[in-house]
């Protein structure tokens, strides 16, 4: 048994659309709104909102890339710190040389 009342303001056009659809379906506006809200809530319950399908699509795209990165250096992971230091050193050296040229000084 329904005991709760909920009301809200809507445009005259929206109200007319609801009444027209209820007449077309041979039901009342209240029953139409009950069905519409029940269907909407069932679709969006638990904040899912189609998230499973979106997550599956993301997973599929990611999995397509797994194993596709090649670097031809099987020791790269072990040497990561060394490689990063080397990159930083080269960048610093390049910037130092650029500053030296800019100010007419000789680089170290």
pLDDT in tens, 70-84: 677 888 888 888 988
pLDDT band, residue 40 (cuts 50/70/90):
confident
Q: Judge contact between 78 and 88, C-beta under 8 A.
A: no
Q: Is pTM beyond 0.75 here? A: no
Helical H runs in 45-103?
51-63, 80-102
How far, in whole angstroms, is CA 42 from its chain's centroid?
Answer: 22
pLDDT band, residue 50 (cuts 50/70/90):
low
């Amino acid at each position: 048994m329904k005991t709760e009342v909920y009301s809200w303001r809507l445009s005259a056009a929206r109200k007319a659309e609801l009444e027209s659809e209820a007449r077309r379906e041979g039901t009342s506006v209240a029953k139409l709104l009950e069905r519409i809200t029940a269907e909407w809530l069932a679709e969006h319950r638990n904040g899912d909102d189609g998230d499973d399908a979106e997550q599956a699509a993301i997973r599929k795209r990611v999995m397509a890339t797994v194993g596709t990165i090649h670097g031809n250096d099987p020791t790269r992971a072990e040497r990561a710190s060394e490689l990063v230091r080397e990159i930083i050193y080269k960048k610093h050296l390049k910037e130092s040389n650029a500053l030296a040229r800019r100010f007419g000084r000789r680089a170290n």
